[in-house]
Chain A
Amino acid sequence: MATLALEGIRKSFGPVEVLHGIDLDVADGEMIVMVGASGCGKSTLLRLVAGLEVPTEGRILIGGRDVTALEPAERDIAMVFQNYALYPHMTVFGNMAYGLKIRGLPRAEIARRVQEAADLLGIGALLDRRPRQLSGGQRQRVAMGRAIVREPKLFLFDEPLSNLDAKLRVQMRAEIRRLQRRLGVTSLFVTHDQTEAMTLGDRLVVMNAGRAAQVATPMQVWSRPADVFVAGFIGSPAMNFLDATLTHGGTAATLRAGPVLPFADGRRAGPEGMGLVLGIRPEHVLAAAPGEAGEWEAAVTVVVELAEPLGSETVLHGRLPDGEELTARLPAAEVPALGGAAQVSLALRLPAAALHVFEASGGRRLDPVA
């Protein structure tokens, strides 16, 4: 158990820089999830922490000790790989005992620890099997077991759930979280799945093109995304983005589609007419009769292009008069019957309180001036 600190980590492969300076402080026992699209550098960052790659610049400290120049073996970490990377020629026991044997632990101690970890993971009866005789979920558990018997300072997970079927993934997700809490081992978890990220992490590192776009708790990331990328990446269906300009002395935004939206939380600093991007999550868009919009709302009319019924809710994909797309997630009862060849127009309300304001240039979040 230990803290982890990354200081100004840069990594280049040949002329291509894939990580542009990552700083991160992880508290003892914390579970950090690194999430981002493929190619954003999250796996590279994990491999740097593991010692499988060497950073071009920067320092890595585990428990306050600089491990940047150390071999993976000397870092006292354990890693669970996406393809599990079990030793195919060893039994489950052999797989879990391998690291302990190398450390020269006495046989009885090895047997005790392996048995303990196996029982914890519910694979106690499989110790004599070979990996190829196991199901995907069982292999996943063995890989976990191999990590926990070592009692390392740090757990690293490289998309360990992505090879499992949907049901098993949900189950293992909860199990990993329980296990990590119980053992209290500092962990780094890499995934491209936002649901995994939201449910597993004490804090998220949302990665975008080799940079940490935001480091915050899942709820902070969801409710106060740091920029347009984070806002669009976290949440499903994805957040709507509408072009607007800053008007009314910084107290309101005028949508390109026409309506004016006052800011519910205060004035934004910036020149009149500055370009903005307004974000609103589909679940915050409300249905309304025409002309019903209140003071802190904007009324818009969309032409419905597609309706996806999900049971209790329906996801509507519509288009504003100026051509921008708007997605709304509405209770099924509020959605009028759709069908036939005729185009259906629908009045919607955009509540000002649910609005996220971003600068059009750069995409940074624009908070109200105090």
Chain B
Amino acid sequence: MQRKAIFGGRALPYALLLPQLAVTLVFFFWPAGMALYQSVLREDPFGLAAEFVWFENFAEVLSDPGYLQSLRTTAVFAASVTLLSLSAGLFLAVQADKVRRGAGLYRTLLIWPYAVAPAVAAVLWLFLFHPEIGLLGRALNAAGIPWDYRLNGGQAMALVVLAASWKQVSYNFLFFLAGLHAIPASVLEAAAIDGAKPVRRFWTVVFPLLSPTTFFLLVVNLVYAFFDTFGVIHALTRGGPGNATETLIYRVYVDGVDNLDLGGSAAQSVILMAIVVALTAIQFRYIERRVHY
């Protein structure tokens, strides 16, 4: 059912595509190409000399136990963020869906966190959980629970997971709410008449019917946790304590900017690029096919 627009000449369609192509070229293909190129070079920190080393950088990165540790950290971080933000988003959407009066207000308020910049969000959580100046941080210590995310790796991970998830909950909330609206009321009524109580109705009818939304969000949230959480981690823990919260994306920054290992950093970027390509491919494949029901 796609309609083809008819253009008189060849110039106009290309001219219309040009701005988008230019943006993609300058901000994606060029840096991506540079990363690919640098990933096979060994450069001195000042960029004065470069040596072509084939895949040595990749071999080094992949055999580095620190990198593998970072991969595990990322897996834990991404899984936690995805699970937490998805379930919180779903819970809030289900609650907001029940509300009739003031529904618009709830919706607007729940969407706000998405408009907050990652670093600002992180500072907000910092003010809550800082062991000396944070409201909750102080309260925890006062209650006899030793809390200092600057020393305790587990606590640091919990905090960045919390902050990163909080940012993403709004997004999930919106999509889940739209998904809930798309379920015909009569199907739920039929289930009610069939004898299903609300909780059962949710797990046997609502949740399965949300599966297209859930799957889409699963991929989006994984991509978010992998690639868009640099700001939160940087502002809260800087990858520490030790390497407890050093995810792959954070390590690219540390190795490239702090350690000035340009080749190694580029090789890591290329690996991350491969991961995001794989995730996107999975998403397109399944969203297009609508395998869900």
Contact = CB atoms under 8 A, between A and B. Distances in A.
Nearest to B189: A52
B197 A73 contact: yes
Contacts of B205: 87, 89
A72 interface: yes
A71 interface: yes
B195 A77 contact: no
A89 B209 contact: yes
Contact of A79 (B193, B204, B211, B292): B193
Nearest to B187: A85
A78 interface: yes
A349 interface: no
B293 A72 contact: no
B196 interface: yes
B133 interface: no
A89 B293 contact: yes
Contacts of B211: 89
Interface in B275-293: 292-293
A81 interface: yes
A82 B189 CA distance: 12
Given A85-B184, A87-B205, A89-B293, A72 B189 contact: yes
A77 B292 contact: no
A85 B189 contact: yes
Interface residues of B, number: 20
A102 interface: yes
B190 A102 contact: no
A81 B293 CA distance: 21
Given A52-B189, A81-B186, A89 B194 contact: no
Nearest to A156: B193
Given A81-B189, A89-B209, A98 B194 contact: yes
Max count, chain A CB within 10 A of own CB: residue among B192, B200, B208: B192
Contact of A99 (B187, B189, B195, B292): B195
A13 to B, nearest CB: 12
A73 B192 contact: yes
A73 B193 contact: yes
B191 interface: yes
Contacts of B192: 51-52, 71-73
Interface string A84-111: 0111110000000011001100000000
B193 A102 contact: no
B208 A50 contact: no
Interface string B207-231: 0110100000000000000000000
A96 to B, nearest CB: 10
B186 A99 contact: no
B194 A85 contact: no
A130 B292 CA distance: 12
A69 B195 CA distance: 15
A132 B193 CA distance: 22
A130 B193 contact: no
A103 B192 CA distance: 13
A73 B196 contact: yes
B184 A72 contact: no
A201 B195 CA distance: 28
A87 B193 contact: no
A87 B184 CA distance: 10
Nearest to A152: B193
A73 B189 contact: no
A89 B195 contact: no
Contacts of A89: 205, 208-209, 211, 292-293
B193 A78 contact: yes
A314 interface: no
9 contacts: A52-B189, A73-B193, A77-B193, A81-B189, A81-B190, A83-B186, A87-B187, A88-B293, A146-B194
Given A73-B196, A89-B292, A102-B196, 11 more contacts: A50-B189, A78-B193, A83-B186, A85-B186, A85-B187, A86-B190, A88-B187, A89-B208, A89-B209, A89-B293, A99-B195
* Closest 9 pairs between A and B when the two form their complex, measured CB to CB: A99-B194, A89-B293, A85-B186, A85-B190, A73-B195, A102-B195, A89-B208, A72-B193, A72-B192
